[in-house]
A and B are shown apart, each in its own frame.
Chain A
Amino acid sequence: MKTSSNAARSSARRGFLCGTGLTLAALGAAGPLRVLAQTRNTLTIAYNVDLPSWDPTVGPSAVNPTIQSLYKAVFSQFIDQNADLSLKPDLLTEWGWNADKSRISCTVRRGAKWHDGSAVTAEDVAWSLRRASDPKTGNPIQFIWSKVDNVQVQGDKVTAEVKEFEPAFFKWMAFLTGYVMPRAYYEKVGAAGFEKKPVGSGPYMVEEFVQGSYLKLRAFKDYFGPKPAFETVVVKFTTDPSARVAEIESGRSDLTLEIPYEEAERLRAKGFNASIAPVSDIGMIFLTNVEPMTNDKVRQALAMAVDKKGLAGKLLRGHVKPIDTLQAPSYEAYDPGIKAPYDPKKAAALMAEAGYTRDKPLKFKVQTTRGFKPKDFEVMQAIAGMWKAIGADVDLEVYEVAKHFELRAQHKLAPAAFYNWGNSIGDPSTSTAHAMFSQSPHSAWKDPKLDALIGPLWGEKDEARRIAGYKAVDKYIADNALVIPLFQYSQTVVFRKGLKFAPHGAGFVLPQAVGKA
Chain B
Amino acid sequence: MARLRHAWHVALTLLGVSVVVFVLMRVVPGDPVAMMIPPGAGPEDIARLRAFYGLDRSIPAQYGVWLLHAVQGELGTSIAFKRDVLELIGQHLPATLELGFTALVLAVLAGGSAGVVSAAMHGRWISSLTDGAAAVVQAVPDFLWGLVFILLFGVVWIWLPISGRLDPLLDFHPVTGFVFFESLLRGRLDVTASVFSHSVAPALALALPVAAMIARVLKASMQEALAADYVLLARLKGLSATRVLLVEALPNAVTPTLQLTGVQFAFLLGGTVLIERLFSYPGIGSLSISAVVARDLPLIQGVVLTFAVLFIAINLVVEALTVALNPRLRSRQR
Contacts and interface: CB of A to CB of B under 8 A. Distances in A.
B25 to A, nearest CB: 11
A35 B40 contact: no
Contacts of A440: 39-40, 42
A517 interface: no
Given A243-B150, A243-B279, A195 B82 contact: yes
A409 B35 CA distance: 10
Contacts of B91: 211
A31 B161 contact: yes
A429 B38 CA distance: 12
A43 to B, nearest CB: 12
Contact of A60 (B79, B159, B165, B191): B79
B48 to A, nearest CB: 6
A195 B34 contact: no
Contact of B82 (A59, A243, A402, A403): A59
Contact of B34 (A251, A409, A434): A409
B194 A30 contact: yes
A27 interface: yes
A27 B196 contact: yes
A53 B192 CA distance: 29
Contacts of A409: 34, 37, 46
Nearest to B48: A135
A250 B163 contact: no
Task: Give the contact-size bracket for chain A.
Answer: 35 or more
B125 interface: no
B80 A61 contact: yes
Nearest to A54: B82
A237 interface: yes
A138 B53 CA distance: 9
Given A143-B42, A247-B154, A236 B168 contact: yes
Contacts of B296: 60
Interface string B1-32: 00000000000000000000000000011111
A441 B41 contact: yes
A56 B294 CA distance: 16
B75 interface: no
Which one of B88, B91, B161 has the greatest number of beta carbons of chain A within 10 Å?
A: B161
B158 A26 contact: no
Contacts of A62: 36
B225 interface: no
Interface string B42-56: 110110110011000
Given A52-B81, A212-B286, A32 B161 contact: yes
B38 A402 contact: no
A126 interface: no
A251 B154 CA distance: 9
Contact of A31 (B39, B150, B197): B197
A42 interface: yes
Contacts of A246: 150-151, 154-155, 162
Interface in A168-192: 176, 191-192
B166 interface: yes
A401 B29 CA distance: 10
Contacts of B167: 30, 34-35
Contacts of A192: 83-84
B262 interface: no
A59 B81 CA distance: 8
A252 B32 CA distance: 35
A118 B82 CA distance: 26
Contact of B49 (A23, A138, A400, A442): A138
A473 B32 CA distance: 32
Nearest to B32: A60
Contact of B165 (A213, A430, A433): A213
B194 A402 contact: no
B291 to A, nearest CB: 9
A252 B168 contact: no
Contacts of A216: 168
A441 B45 CA distance: 10
Interface string B166-190: 1111100000000000000000011
A386 B273 CA distance: 39
B40 A144 contact: yes
B281 A29 contact: no
Contacts of B161: 31-32, 35, 252
B92 interface: yes
Given A30-B167, A31-B194, A243 B189 contact: no
Contacts of A442: 37, 39
A214 B168 contact: yes
A29 B279 CA distance: 22
B193 A195 contact: no
Contact of B163 (A60, A247, A429): A247
B29 A406 contact: yes
Contacts of A389: none
Contacts of B31: 402, 406
A209 B11 CA distance: 36
Contact of A212 (B92, B158, B159): B92
A361 to B, nearest CB: 28
A407 interface: yes
A466 B320 CA distance: 75
Contact of A249 (B48, B155, B166): B155
Interface in A187-225: 191-192, 195, 208, 210-214, 216
B160 interface: yes
Given A29-B190, A32-B158, A405 B151 contact: no
Contacts of A59: 36, 79-80, 82
B282 A142 contact: no
B278 A140 contact: no
A45 to B, nearest CB: 11
B94 interface: no
Interface in A344-385: none
B48 A23 contact: no
Nearest to B280: A238
B95 to A, nearest CB: 8
A240 B32 CA distance: 23
Contacts of A405: 30, 34-35, 37
Across the A-B interface, give the 3 residue pairs with the lowest CB-CB distance, nearest first.
A402-B30, A212-B282, A434-B39
Given A34-B194, A213-B282, 5 more contacts: A63-B38, A143-B40, A210-B165, A242-B151, A250-B154
Interface of A: 22-23, 26-27, 29-32, 34-36, 42, 46, 50, 52-53, 55, 58-63, 135, 138, 140-144, 176, 191-192, 195, 208, 210-214, 216, 234, 236-240, 242-243, 245-247, 249-252, 400-403, 405-407, 409, 423, 429-431, 433-435, 439-442
8 contacts: A27-B196, A52-B80, A60-B35, A60-B294, A62-B36, A141-B38, A250-B155, A434-B39
